[in-house]
């Protein structure tokens, strides 16, 4: 190996070791450790149905995370579990301010509006989710439920079929279609 090749080889090794050291230091900083501590504790509390405590832990993790929109999603889901749809909406919207193209946040926002009975806003968010990801699960199912709630049975059936075409394992969409068959058979007798 020539002297120049040796210098290049050793330079690459030194640079590589420097990058590994920086990565290790960054991943083990106080911020990263605080985030992990609060985030994991929040998840544990949520699984134990200690919703308010989970929300508090996740809120404490926000200053330390590089992806706050994911934490806002967790907080929003926790509010949904408490049937506190207004705060869930606020949380999902905060996440969407950070990442407006997050389909999960948009879907959960639509679900929150659905739970509040605001079908117009629920459909608006579901349409947005479908534009972001045409294969996002349960968009058509939820849209079908909204149409069914509004008495639009044909539109609801179309949405359940669309859901099954995208997600053949959707037990809820299949059960809705099956219930419609039983209902139709009972009326024809």
pLDDT tens string for the chain (189 positions)? Answer: 677 656 665 556 656 555 544 454 444 445 556 668 888 889 999 999 999 999 999 998 888 888 999 999 999 999 999 999 999 999 999 999 999 999 999 999 999 999 999 999 999 999 999 999 999 999 999 999 999 999 999 999 999 999 999 999 999 999 999 886 655 544 555
CA distances from 87 to 41, 66, 77, 90, 172 (A): 21, 22, 10, 5, 27
**Where in the chain are the domains?**
33-121, 137-189
Q: What pLDDT score was predicted for residue 186?
A: 45
* Predicted local distance difference test score (pLDDT) of residue 147: 96
pLDDT at 35: 65
pLDDT confidence of residue 65? 83
Using CB atoms within 10 A of its CB, is residue 90 exposed (0-12), middle (13-18) or buried (19+)? middle
Say whether 66 sits in a helix, a strand or coil. Answer: coil
Q: Which pLDDT score, from 0 to 100, does residue 29 have?
A: 46
Q: What is the CATH number of domain 33-121?
A: 1.25.40.10
CA 73 to each of CA 6, 27, 120, 171: distance values in angstroms, whole numbers, following the listed order: 51, 23, 22, 25
- Say if CB 107 and CB 125 are below 8 A apart: yes
Amino acid 22: pLDDT: 47
Tens of pLDDT, residue by residue over 119-128, are 999 999 999 9
């Amino acid at each position: 190996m020539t002297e120049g090749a040796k210098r290049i080889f050793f330079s690459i090794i030194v640079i590589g070791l420097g990058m590994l050291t920086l990565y290790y230091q960054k991943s083990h900083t106080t911020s990263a450790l605080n985030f992990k501590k609060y985030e994991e504790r929040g998840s544990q509390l949520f699984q134990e149905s200690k919703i308010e405590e989970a929300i508090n832990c996740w809120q404490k993790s926000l200053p330390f995370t590089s992806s706050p929109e994911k934490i806002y999603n967790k907080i929003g889901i926790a509010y949904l579990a408490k049937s506190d749809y207004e705060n869930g909406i606020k949380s999902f919207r905060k996440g969407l301010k950070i990442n407006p193209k997050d389909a999960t946040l948009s879907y959960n926002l639509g679900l929150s509006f659905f739970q509040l009975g605001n079908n117009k806003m629920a459909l608006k968010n579901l349409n947005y989710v479908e534009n972001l990801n045409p294969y996002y699960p349960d968009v058509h199912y939820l849209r079908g439920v909204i149409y069914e709630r509004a008495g639009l049975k044909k539109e609801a059936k179309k949405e359940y079929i669309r859901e099954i075409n995208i997600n053949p394992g959707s037990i809820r969409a299949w059960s809705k279609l099956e219930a419609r068959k039983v209902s139709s058979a009972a009326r024809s007798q």
